[in-house]
Structure formats: structure tokens, C-alpha cells
Chain A
């Protein structure tokens, strides 16, 4: 149709353009047939409305320019009518024009043409509207924190508060009269102009672009995310729109940061609303459960769990929202997740409340526990094997020692006949070595038992003085060759509640350690003090002492210190390590103070729970 009409109109168009060339501000001249179709379109009209004549001619003028002018009364209308009207530019923007309409009649008085002479008065209207709204709303809008604009019926800004000017980077006055689209990124402008006319047809207060990401554009071209509320503002000058624009960069940044944080988490994460629907997930969760994000958002979180848990879960969920606090879910229970393919897998979940502007959410961190469960099973099995190994090693090592120690004693006691002194001495060495080996085996076993958590503490009430006496006497027998003074002193109550066997083991280890490193003529003092809540035992020797740099290694397994002398001391370095373990097993402490050549002092403190709570017991 355009193709047909264009050549026909070309001539007339050229005629008109000649007259239109008269000046820059020439009025747009449009000639239409009585049915409203454009037959002539001046150069000034092309400029004003954006359509070339070739495109405009043949079109119904009211449709082309979106005008709602009252149709001319072809019978009665005076030759000349003047009015103002809105026009739509080819780019969708609106103009306000002053129209002078004239009817051309033939000799018989029949209307043959309607001539329009139109002048752009958009800025005049802006000035008028601006004056109107400034008077009514100017100071009021300064009070709102949001950037606020009033846009007139032809889409021009007629009022902008200083917040708006600041937000978009304009001088406040320079915003007036601009199409509101200058505040939008270019890619949105055309669509916006169309939406705007839609809004003016059905005006009601609302948020713009619900669910869409909206952006504002600053004068320097920089874009920023916005949230916009609109409300119609009917005036004598036509339907205006008042619009509040909020810069949500901070919120978006925070949201992005939160999203990044979710993505950076090692665990699968799900954010759930108080109605149990999923608000957010990270890609770890998508991978873990095999559901694409789109399938999860807005769905009940129960989607991620096997059918059998779902009913109880929604009850628990309600309870969590009533008393939200960070915790792990289903402590002590075996929880399972459900993948999209219907398979289940063991999971661990920890829950945290998440307070946001949009209300209380709960975030769940979900970890695939498959590997952990397997590892636990493997560890349990390994621990069982270790125990079995220890039990059998213990048996296998002790059985031959029974023969070695037993027959040595048997012979030394002369039960198989009298021995000479050398035979007796050497058999004594066999016996001592056997007993030493037995002690080591026992130490290794004890250490292993403590490590495996299989060593129990069984406190009993016993007489401390008797126990100390017994240990001192056993220890002194082992060093009968040396002439060392071994003294002990006790202060405080002698009845205590402790694991008697372990107390004796600790004291024995400390004493044999002291005896080992103390030379002939030396002295060892054992001092025991009992207070209301504490038993303290101190073993002080005049032995070779320990260098400061060696102290940290002292209580570690197999760490016998180099004494710096030519002699080697018997032992594996297990004694003090075991002693430390035995002390710690009873929540006690062990300390050492020492200087080379000046001896060492070991101090053990054990809490006495029995005294604190059992004072009134018989």
C-alpha cells in the first residue's frame, strides 16, 4: 500500500515542502482527505513527527499520530478551528501541538480536503504544567527521601525534586521539559514510551516492572538498578504521573554479595521462606540433588527429601520458625536427601535463621555424608582390628615372658638347686630384663588403650599414705644397688577419691624416672598435698636435670632425651608420655621444672571430684 501511494504523493509533497522551507519554525502542514487519510505532508511535518512524507501519505492521520482530536463536523464546522492536542512522534514520544484546522470546499460546498497547520507547543505546555505542579507539590516533594518526578500528559518531566536531580546527575532545572525516557538506558526507551501510554489509559498506583530488573541512567551514561512506584495525578492540564524512583544499588550489591557467598560455600545451600518454599539455592545444591534451579525455586523444600520424612518435616519446620537458632538438624538421626532421579543419599544439615527485609528465612547447609559414613565404618573396623591386634599381641608377648620371668625366679629362688654367685647374678639380669620388657609391653598397651578411648577411670576411696608408701617401697627395691635417699611426706587428709591404680602408676613412673637419672648419694623427695578439690604430688630429685630446650619433648612418646653424657639410660621414653596421658585422662596437669645439674621437679595435680561432692558421704 505504501508502495502504491508513495509515487502518487511525491509531487504534492514536493510542492508543500517548498512552502515549508520558509523558516526553521515553520508550521507542519498536513492535508487530509475528508475520510482522514493523509494526502500531503510537508517537510516541517516530517521534521516534527519523524515520518517521511512517503510513509505518512495514505495513512489515517489519527492513527498515525495517535491523536484523539474530535473529527471535524463536515457540515457545520466553521472554516477555521484552533485547538491544542497531543501527537505521537514516530519514536513513540508525545508532543503537544497547537492545531489550526481549515476545511476546503469545492464550488458545491462539499468538503474536499482538511488542512492542518500544527505547531509544536510542547515546551509551552511544559512551562504551564511545571508552574502548576510546582505550586502544588514542589515543596512537598522535597520532603520525601526518594527521587520523585512528575511527568505530564505528553511524557515530559515537569517537576523533579532535588533528590531526583542528584540521583540522575542533572541540574534540577535542566530536567524540566525533557522526555522522561532520558532517565532510562537507551535500550528501554521505546518500550517505555509504549508502556507509558498504556499506563495513562489505565492509571492506578503500582510498582513498575514488577519482577523485572529496572535501571536508571545517569547523565554521564552510568546505569544503576532502581525500583519505581507510579501513581496517576489527574490535573486540569491532563493526566500526569507522579513517580518515585529508588536507587537500589546497595540492596542489589548486598544481594549479589549474598549470592556470591552462597556460591562460594563448600556446602549445598538452600534458603527457605517461612511457608516452606525454596527462595534460593546455590549451584552446589543443584549438583548434589540433580535438580536445576528453576525446578526448585518456589517449590516446597520437602521436594528434596524422601516421602517418609515429609509430614514430620513440615511440623519441625514450623517449630524452627517459632524458635529460630543455629543448630544442626536431626542430631543423632540418619538423614537422607532425595535426588531428582529418586535415589537417596545420607546427608548432614545445619540450619541458621536468616533475618532479611522480606522477613525471616532459614538457610540450610547440606553436606553429602556418604563418604563420611563410609569413613566412619572404615574407622570403626580399623579400631576393632587394632583392639584385636593389641589383645593378641598382648597375649603373644606375655606368654613367653611368663616362662622367662617364671623360670628365672624359680632358679634364683634355688628351687632347682643352689646356684653360685655369678649364676645368680646373671639370672638376676635375665629376670630384670624380662620384667623390664613386661613393663614396656604394659606401657605400650596402656598408651594404646588410652588412645583408643578404652581406658576407664574408676575412682575409689583409698588411703593415700599407704599407697605412697607401697609405691616408694617397690620403686626403691629396683635400685638397691644405688645409695639414694628416698623420702616422702604427706600433708592434708589421707583418704581420697581417685583411681588408685592409676595414681600408683603415675607416682611409680615419676619415681622410677627420678631414680634412673639420679646418681649415687643423691636424694629424691616425694611430697603429697591434699586440699579440698586437689591432690598434688611432687617428685623432686637431685639428678642430672633437663636442658630448657628439651623440656617440650619430655612428655612425648619415644622421645628419650640425649643426656649429653656417655651413659645410656634404660627405657624407651614411654614412661613420661604414658604418665602425661594418665594425668590428662583424669583432667589433671603435669609440669616440670628443671635445670641441668640441679635436678628436676615434676608436679602432678589431679582434681578430686569425690571430695567436692561426696564430702557428706560415709
Chain B
């Protein structure tokens, strides 16, 4: 299954790592360094999954997710949060914002592509409202 992945991270090294890993796994990766750039890309592209960092300047990952979930054209897109925070309540906050899954940073590079594929597969079996 070849996926088109939109990856958003304000840290260019992490963005590059995500892109490299997913490309190695055979997927197509669109990169955006902030939420605005991501929304611009989404005007012309329709990916299979959005992979977003949570803590970003400007619109953060949770706001972006809420924005996507409020958009009729985009709400079916599975959103995976990539988060480096470790505090209690973060997970609940992420899922409450509408994310379909989350992956903690630092992630295991050997498992990462499969984790992304899993979320997409799961989202496909649940018809979106």
C-alpha cells in the first residue's frame, strides 16, 4: 500500500528523518514546516494521512487537527500526532482534539513506517461520520 503522507514539523531534522523513513518504506511524502504551509499544500493535494508535530509556532498541531476535522473535504483524513512531550494528560488532549493516533518522539525508526500504516488501515475500516 503506497501512501501519500503529509508530514508537518517545525524541526527540519525531524521532518527530514520522517520523510526519509517513509520514502524508504515506499511512500510519497509531502513536507511542510508549519501548519500554514500544510494548509496551503492541502488546497492542491489530498494525502492519505497527515502526520503532524504538536508543538509548533503559530498554529500548533492540535489546532491544525481541529481545523482539518471541521473541514468537510478533509475531515476523513487520518491525523497522527508526533509528540515529544511526556506529561500526564497529553495523550488525552491529543485524542480529544480529534487525532486518530499518536507516536511519541523519539520513535523507533524500525517500527515507525508500520505504525503509520496501522493507523491508516484502522481509519479505513471505521467509516468517518
Contacts and interface: CB of A to CB of B under 8 A. Distances in A.
A398 B17 contact: no
Contact of B24 (A394, A399, A415, A454): A415
A438 B84 CA distance: 11
Contacts of B20: 410, 415-416
A406 B106 contact: yes
Given A401-B106, A402-B106, A413-B109, A391 B85 contact: yes
A131 B122 CA distance: 119
B14 A395 contact: no
Contact of A387 (B55, B87, B107): B87
Contact of A410 (B21, B84, B87, B88): B21
The 3 A-B residue pairs with the shortest CB-CB distance, nearest first, are A398-B84, A403-B13, A402-B106
A434 B85 CA distance: 17
A402 B24 contact: no
Interface in B31-74: 55
A484 interface: no
Which of B20, B21, B87, B110 has the largest number of chain A CB atoms within 10 A? B87
B23 to A, nearest CB: 10
A97 B124 CA distance: 130
Contacts of B14: 399, 402-403, 406
12 contacts: A394-B84, A394-B85, A394-B87, A398-B84, A398-B86, A398-B106, A399-B84, A402-B17, A403-B11, A403-B13, A410-B20, A413-B109
B96 interface: no
Interface string B99-129: 0000001111110000000000000000000
Q: Which of B21, B24, B84 has the most C-beta atoms of chain A within 10 angstroms of its own C-beta?
A: B84
B110 A413 contact: yes
A442 interface: yes
B19 to A, nearest CB: 11
A394 B110 CA distance: 23
B25 to A, nearest CB: 10
B20 to A, nearest CB: 6
A406 B107 contact: yes
Nearest to A406: B17
Nearest to A416: B20
Contacts of B13: 400, 403, 407
Interface string B74-105: 00000000001111100000000000000001
Interface residues of B, number: 19
A438 B105 CA distance: 10
Contacts of A391: 85-87
Interface string A429-461: 000001000100010010001000011100000
Contacts of A455: 88
A456 B17 contact: no
Given A406-B14, A415-B21, 17 more contacts: A391-B85, A391-B86, A399-B14, A400-B11, A402-B14, A402-B105, A402-B106, A402-B107, A403-B14, A406-B21, A406-B106, A410-B17, A410-B21, A410-B109, A438-B106, A445-B86, A456-B88
A525 interface: no
Contacts of A413: 109-110
A398 B105 contact: yes
Contacts of A434: 106
Contacts of B85: 391, 394-395, 398
B8 to A, nearest CB: 14
Contacts of A449: 87-88
Contact of A406 (B84, B87, B109): B109
A116 B96 CA distance: 119
Contacts, number: 69
Nearest to B13: A403
Interface in A377-414: 387, 390-391, 394-395, 398-403, 405-407, 409-410, 413
Nearest to A391: B87
B61 to A, nearest CB: 12
Interface string A411-425: 001011000000000
Contacts of B55: 395
A398 B21 CA distance: 18
Contacts of A399: 11, 14, 84, 105
Nearest to A403: B13
Nearest to A449: B88
A400 B17 CA distance: 11
Interface string A24-47: 000000000000000000000000
A419 B109 CA distance: 18
A543 B100 CA distance: 47
A402 B110 contact: no
B93 to A, nearest CB: 11
Interface in A207-243: none
Given A403-B13, A406-B17, A394 B106 contact: no
Contact of B17 (A390, A403, A438, A445): A403
Nearest to B55: A395
A387 B90 CA distance: 13
A405 B84 CA distance: 13
Contacts of A445: 86
Nearest to A445: B86
Interface string A244-255: 000000000000
Contact of A409 (B11, B86, B87, B109): B109
A400 B13 CA distance: 8
B84 A395 contact: yes
B26 to A, nearest CB: 12
Contacts of A456: 88
A407 B84 contact: no
A152 to B, nearest CB: 92
A401 B108 CA distance: 12
A409 B88 contact: no
A454 B86 CA distance: 12
A454 B88 contact: yes
B3 to A, nearest CB: 18
Contacts of B86: 391, 394, 398, 442, 445
